[in-house]
Chains A and B, each alone.
Chain A
Amino acid sequence: MKPGASVVDLAAAFEASPNPYLLLTPDLRIAEVNQAYVEVTGARREEILGRPLFTTFDAGPGEDAPENVRQVRASLEKARDTRQRDHLAVVRYAMPRKLSDGQEVFEERIWSATHTPLLNAEGDVVLLLQHTIDITDLWPAIRPDEPTTALDALVGGSVLRRAQSVQEDNRRLESERNRLVEMFMQAPGFVAILTGRNHCFQMHNDAYSQLIGHRDIAGKSIRDALPELVGQGYYEFLDTVFETGEPYEGRESLAKLQRTPGGPLETLYLNFIYQPIRDEAGAVVGIFVQGHDVTANVLATQRQKLMIDELNHRVKNTLATVQSIAIQTARSHIDPATFAATFQSRILALSHTHDLLTRTHWEGADLRAILEHETEAFGPTRINLNGPATALPPATALSLGMIFHELATNAAKYGALSTPDGRVLIDWSLADQRDRKLKLVWREIGGPKVTQPDRRGFGSRLIERNIRHDLAGEIDLVYASDGLIAELTVPLDRTPAP
């Protein structure tokens, strides 16, 4: 026998106690009752052992019965789940009673109950002890037909009523607390409560779980729970809040978190606040964490800035291009009227290629569509287009659009399109499927005799420079006696530099 252990037979004492006792398994089945319990309930021990409590005693058919059952069940479950004793100062619970003629009726009774969890060495709940006292006789209101003494009214009435009112307050507070916990859990932002200077997770809601990939962090310190945050500054912010008691607010704060087990670190942007929690003496005992994942907003803003920068770059480059066209056109056109016409037609050629590209969201433009546009003024009988469908990348489309415009303008002024019978044959093909090259021949026939110009104008300089400089291609301008031949080769699959 262990030192200090009682020599009293506890089982006999349990059985002999005048107080009704009930022992329940954690799943609320009747494990044992004492004699007083048998007497007060009128039940037969062998009929009720092992049965679920609430099917054995179901509080009868009364209107309040479900609520009464609920109260007792809630108290038992609370005692079991919190491993703390729970009191029900006053609870109504009807009990069956056999009348003398053998008929069973339910009789309204009022009880006061205490539910005590019995723990094993590991601290697990093995049994629940219910200690009940029938206080029906102390409760005058229930039997208005029976005379009450002044003492009854004093003891039973006011004390019990106060007890019941305290209990109702507790129940109300409990349900409010549950509602708050529910709100905390369901809050769209992430919320966690950290305790102690090691910042251990006391509570965290669903959004927080989602943020950290549903890891089991309950009770762990932040450094153990979220080890990937080392070096990201968050541990230190928490330490500072704990030490100084000053809240810390993070805006669009970058965090790298592991959101799937064994997965890579994901970059997130968070708005959050670390708010110190103080005890009654004002000392910081924990930190309230609350915030939102604003990654989508931050990325959208970054994308928008990139797009605006890119747009600015393109607009300014286009303006510089137009400026160049204006200045160079002005040098070869002293007459303002011819300057305006030539300048305008060049700008319109550029603009038209932009239109073609816009239709495909700047993915490319079809070669034939560009050629058709630049030559449509001369009619289909004078222009012969022959070649496969060829999608041109945007930069190539813009360059070739200007080049064909210059060739067509030149042909109309000095070449085959300057006479009624001249024609232009345009043939193209694609060589080398892997590293595609466009080979195009612009051949003018039936026009006036041509000779090499003694001075290269802006048009021919633009053509050559554009092909070589912008497109890394080749061009050969041959001033054959029966018409100009332009042969150009342009690589189409230049991989953009990284």
Chain B
Amino acid sequence: MTQPLNGRRILVVEDESLVAMLLETILEDMECIPVGPASNIDDGEAMARDTVDLDAALLDVNVAGRQVFPVAEALKARGVPFVFSTGYGEGGLPEEWRGAITIQKPFTEAAVRDALMKVMGVAQV
């Protein structure tokens, strides 16, 4: 059976390689194509701007001591939807990003898939 997110290219911004590897494993199981992962904000911003095909992104909020919002801005500017991943939950987001789709660490495959489908507007099957 084909996965609903088959072939989607998903940017991953996450500073911990083990967590990034987990996300890649989850994305690969959903037949997505992981892009990155970017381990810092500068790389993340460059990838968000310059990667030609990008369907969505998973953004760790706290990346090596910096907040991921410049990457989110770059994605927003080109209309690429994204999901925040954080240990703080939605309450940890500053005012202007409240209401953004968020997954909490540690995360399940279902939570990652549901959040990505929601931001990309892909119907549940």
Whether, in the assembled complex, A175 has its beta carbon less than 8 Å from a beta carbon of chain B, the answer is no
Comparing A97-105, A109-117, A324-332, the segment that makes contact with chain B is A324-332
Q: B41 and A313: CB pair below 8 A?
A: no
Q: B16 and A317: CB pair below 8 A?
A: yes
- Report how far A472 CA is from B15 CA in the complex, Å: 11
Q: B40 and A321: CB pair below 8 A?
A: no
Whether, in the assembled complex, A315 has its beta carbon less than 8 Å from a beta carbon of chain B, the answer is yes
Q: Which of A313, A315, A322, A461 contacts B21 (CB 8 A)?
A: A461
Chain A at the B interface: SS class: helix
By a CB distance below 8 angstroms, the chain B residues around A316 are 86-88, 104-106
- In the complex where A316-B104, A469-B37 touch, is A328 in contact with B87 (Cβ < 8 A)? no
By a CB distance below 8 angstroms, the chain B residues around A472 are 39
Q: B39 and A319: CB pair below 8 A?
A: no
- Report how far A470 CA is from B64 CA in the complex, Å: 9
Whether, in the assembled complex, A224 has its beta carbon less than 8 Å from a beta carbon of chain B, the answer is no
Q: B22 and A497: CB pair below 8 A?
A: no
Q: Which of B22, B64, B65, B105 contacts A327 (CB 8 A)?
A: B22
Q: Which of A315, A328, A399 contacts B25 (CB 8 A)?
A: A328
CB distance from A461 to the nearest CB of B (A): 7
- Report how far A321 CA is from B22 CA in the complex, Å: 8
CB distance from A85 to the nearest CB of B (A): 66
How many chain B residues touch A (Cβ–Cβ < 8 Å)? 25
- Report how far A188 CA is from B67 CA in the complex, Å: 43
Residues 80 to 125 of chain B near chain A (Cβ within 8 Å) = 86-88, 92, 104-107
Whether, in the assembled complex, A345 has its beta carbon less than 8 Å from a beta carbon of chain B, the answer is no
Whether, in the assembled complex, B35 has its beta carbon less than 8 Å from a beta carbon of chain A, the answer is no
By a CB distance below 8 angstroms, the chain B residues around A497 are 40-41, 64-66
Q: B105 and A465: CB pair below 8 A?
A: no
- In the complex where A320-B107, A324-B19, A462-B21 touch, is A313 in contact with B88 (Cβ < 8 A)? yes
- Report how far A465 CA is from B17 CA in the complex, Å: 6
Mark B54-80 against chain A: 1 for CB-CB distance below 8 A, else 0: 000000001011100000000000000
Q: A323 and B22: CB pair below 8 A?
A: yes
Q: B107 and A312: CB pair below 8 A?
A: no
Write the chain A residue with the least CB distance to B104.
A316
Q: A309 and B20: CB pair below 8 A?
A: no
Q: A328 and B22: CB pair below 8 A?
A: yes
Whether, in the assembled complex, B52 has its beta carbon less than 8 Å from a beta carbon of chain A, the answer is no
Q: Which of B18, B39, B92, B105 contacts A309 (CB 8 A)?
A: B92
Mark A138-172 against chain B: 1 for CB-CB distance below 8 A, else 0: 00000000000000000000000000000000000
Q: B18 and A321: CB pair below 8 A?
A: yes
Q: B17 and A320: CB pair below 8 A?
A: no
Q: B105 and A317: CB pair below 8 A?
A: yes
Q: A324 and B64: CB pair below 8 A?
A: no
Q: B18 and A325: CB pair below 8 A?
A: yes
Q: A320 and B106: CB pair below 8 A?
A: yes
Q: Which of A313, A320, A496 contacts B64 (CB 8 A)?
A: A496
Whether, in the assembled complex, A466 has its beta carbon less than 8 Å from a beta carbon of chain B, the answer is yes
- In the complex where A312-B87, A497-B65 touch, is A324 in contact with B21 (Cβ < 8 A)? yes
Q: Which of A312, A461, A470 contacts B15 (CB 8 A)?
A: A470
Write the chain A residue with the least CB distance to B109.
A327
- In the complex where A313-B62, A497-B64 touch, is A321 in contact with B87 (Cβ < 8 A)? no
- Report how far A465 CA is from B34 CA in the complex, Å: 15
Q: Which of A320, A461, A498 contacts B16 (CB 8 A)?
A: A320
- In the complex where A320-B106, A470-B39 touch, is A465 in contact with B88 (Cβ < 8 A)? no
Q: B19 and A317: CB pair below 8 A?
A: yes
- Report how far A462 CA is from B17 CA in the complex, Å: 8
Q: Which of B22, B88, B104 contacts A324 (CB 8 A)?
A: B22
By a CB distance below 8 angstroms, the chain B residues around A320 are 16, 18-19, 22, 87, 105-107
Q: Which of B37, B66, B106 contacts A323 (CB 8 A)?
A: B106
- Report how far A327 CA is from B26 CA in the complex, Å: 10
CB distance from A314 to the nearest CB of B (A): 8
CB distance from A160 to the nearest CB of B (A): 78
- Report how far A486 CA is from B66 CA in the complex, Å: 32
CB distance from B42 to the nearest CB of A (A): 8
Q: A315 and B87: CB pair below 8 A?
A: yes
Q: B22 and A470: CB pair below 8 A?
A: no
Q: B18 and A462: CB pair below 8 A?
A: yes
Residues 301 to 358 of chain A near chain B (Cβ within 8 Å) = 309, 312-317, 319-325, 327-328, 331
Question: Could you list 17 examples of A-B contacts with CB < 8 Å?
Answer: A313-B87, A316-B88, A316-B104, A316-B106, A319-B105, A320-B105, A321-B18, A323-B22, A323-B106, A324-B19, A328-B25, A461-B21, A462-B17, A466-B18, A469-B20, A470-B39, A496-B64
Q: 6 more A-B contacts (CB under 8 A) besides A315-B87, A331-B25?
A: A317-B105, A320-B107, A321-B18, A323-B107, A466-B17, A496-B65
Which residues of B come within 8 Å of A, CB atoms?
15-22, 25, 37, 39-41, 62, 64-66, 86-88, 92, 104-107
